[in-house]
Amino acid sequence: MTDLPAQETSPTFLGMPSFQHAAEAALADTQQRRNLAHATATIRAKRAAAVGEVDGWEDLRLAGAAAKDEALHHLPHYLEQLEAALTARGATVHWARDADEANQVVVDLARAKATDEVVKVKSMATQEIELNEALEAAGIAAWETDLAELIVQLGEDRPSHILVPAIHRNRAEIREIFARRMGAVGRAAPDDLTDEPARLAEAARLHLREKFLRARVAVTGANFAVAETGTLVVVESEGNGRMCLTLPETLITVVGIEKVLPTFADLSTMLQLLPRSSTGERMNPYTSMWTGVTPGDGPQEVHVVLLDNGRSRVLADEAGREALRCIRCSACLNVCPVYERTGGHAYGSVYPGPIGAVLNPLLRGTSSEVDRSLPYASSLCGACFEACPVRIDIPSLLVRLRTQVVDEASGRSAEAASMKAAAWVFGDHRRLEAAQRAATLGGRLLGDRTIRSLPGLGAWTQARDVPTPPTETFRQWWARTHGDDEGDLDDARGQPVVEEQDLGGAGPHTRQEGS
Partner 1 sequence: MSSREEILARLRLATGDVTSRPGERGPVPVSAATAGAAQDTLELFVKTVTDYRASVGRCTPEQVGAEVAAALVRARAHTVLVPPGLETSWVARARDAGLRLRADEAEDGGPLTAHELDGIDAVVTGARVAVATTGTIVLDHAPDQGRRALTLVPDQHVCVVRADQVVHDVPDAVALLDPARPLTWVSGPSATSDIELDRVEGVHGPRTLDVIVVC
Which residues ranging from 207 to 226 are in contact with partner 1 (CB under 8 A)? 208-209, 212-213, 226
Does residue 15 bind partner 1 (CB under 8 A)? no
CB of 115 to partner 1, least distance (A): 15
- Calculate the CA dihedral of residues 256, 125, 286, 117 and round it to 10 degrees: -120
Neighbours of 467 (CB within 10 A): 9
Span 364-393, contacts to partner 1 by CB under 8 A: none
Span 130-149, contacts to partner 1 by CB under 8 A: 145-148
CB of 105 to partner 1, least distance (A): 9
Backbone phi, psi, residue 253, to 5°:
-115, 120
Q: H or E element: which one contains 216?
A: none
- Number of residues interacting with partner 1: please give it, by CB under 8 A: 102
Find how far residue 337's CA is from the centre of its chain.
Answer: 16
Q: Which stretch binds partner 1 (CB under 8 A): 20-28, 39-47, 132-140, 500-508?
A: 39-47
CB of 283 to partner 1, least distance (A): 4
CB of 475 to partner 1, least distance (A): 44
Q: Which stretch binds partner 1 (CB under 8 A): 36-44, 381-389, 481-489, 492-500?
A: 36-44
How is 237-292 classified by DSSP, letter by letter? SSSHHHHHHHSSSEEEEEEEGGGEES-TTHHHHHHHHHHHHHTS-SS-SEEEEE-S
428 SS3 class? coil
Backbone phi, psi, residue 288, to 5°:
-110, 135
- For residues 11 and 76, which CB has a smaller minimum distance to partner 1 in the complex? 76
Span 223-252, contacts to partner 1 by CB under 8 A: 226, 228-231, 237-240, 242-243, 245-247
Q: Which stretch binds partner 1 (CB under 8 A): 21-29, 195-203, 396-404, 491-499?
A: 195-203
Q: Which stretch binds partner 1 (CB under 8 A): 278-286, 413-421, 454-462, 480-488?
A: 278-286
Helices in 19-159 by DSSP H: which ranges? 19-28, 30-52, 57-73, 75-88, 99-112, 124-128, 131-137, 147-154
Does residue 108 bind partner 1 (CB under 8 A)? no
Q: Please tell me what DSSP assigns to residue 329.
A: -
Neighbours of 244 (CB within 10 A): 29
How is 334-383 classified by DSSP, letter by letter? HT-HHHHHH-SGGGSSSS-HHHHHHHHHHHH-S-SHHHHHGGGS----SH
> Amino acid identity, residue 417?
A
Does residue 113 bind partner 1 (CB under 8 A)? no
CB of 25 to partner 1, least distance (A): 22
- For residues 37 and 446, which CB has a smaller minimum distance to partner 1 in the complex? 37
What residues form DSSP beta bridges with 509?
none
- For residues 272 and 342, which CB has a smaller minimum distance to partner 1 in the complex? 272
Span 172-191, contacts to partner 1 by CB under 8 A: 174
Span 57-86, contacts to partner 1 by CB under 8 A: 59-60, 63, 66-67, 69-70, 72-80
d(CA 120, CA 243): 10
Span 305-334, contacts to partner 1 by CB under 8 A: 306, 308, 312-313, 315-316, 318, 321
